[in-house]
Structure 1
Amino acid sequence: MTVFLIAEIKVTDDGWVPEYAARVHEIAERHSGRYLSRTANIETLEGPASDQTVIALIAFPSREDVMAFAADPEYGPLGAARRLGSVCHFRLIDDTDIAGAIPYLAQPR
């Protein structure tokens, strides 16, 4: 089952950004992750605007692949630097339809 990692980041100290941006996609790729977007072009269409400065969307074949990416020893120092220099939320969603009405999405388990 495909899963999507949604990283919502508000950068508070950008010292970590250059190394993180240069290296993290290769680490994700080693764990079968594929970036679908990593952007600062964030437009609020409904509800209160958020203060994130970057949102990334990464597809992985499974939750296990995401967890392997997060636990990768090479990612550890990058993730620690990101946490020190930002306020962030990492959310994991799957490709199911909770209402069960969209035929091309998987049914919830």
Structure 2
Amino acid sequence: MAYFSVLAVTPTSEDWIPDYIGPANKLVARYGGKYLARTSSHEQLEGDAQDAALRIVIEWPSREAAVNFMNDLEYAPHLKARTAGSNSFHFLIEGKDDLA
């Protein structure tokens, strides 16, 4: 079953970004992930304002793939740089409809 990473990222420093993109792209692909959106073009339609510079959506083939990506030792320094250089919120969502 597909899973989706939904992230809200607001950089507090841009120093980490150039060294992050290439390795993250490679590792996402290694775990079967596919970027569906990586954009600063978004708007909030409901609820209390939750500003974020970037919204990112990644489709994963399974929960295990997403978790393995996040726990990959090759990704660890990039994750550390991203979290140190941004305000980031990452949600992992199972691709199912519990209300159907």
Task: Give, in whole Å, the separation in 2 of the partners of 1:61 and 1:76.
Answer: 21
CA RMSD of aligned residues (A): 1.1
TM-score normalised by L of structure 2: 0.93
Per-residue Cα deviation, 1:5-38 (whole angstroms, up to 9, x for no partner): 1111111111111111222111111011111111
Count of aligned pairs: 100
Q: Is residue 50 of structure 2 the alignment partner of residue 50 of structure 1?
A: yes
Quote the sequence identity (%). Answer: 35
Larger Rg: 1
Q: Which blocks of at least 5 consecutive residues in structure 2 are unaligned? A: none
Runs of 4+ residues deviating >4 angstroms: none
TM-score normalised by L of structure 1: 0.86
Q: Choose between structure 1 and 2 for higher RCO, CA contacts under 8 A separated by at least 6 residues.
A: 2
Please report how far the alpha carbon of residue 50 of structure 1 lies from its aligned counterpart in structure 2 after TM superposition.
2.0
The aligned residue for residue 6 of structure 2 is: 6
Q: Which blocks of at least 5 consecutive residues in structure 1 are unaligned? A: 101-109
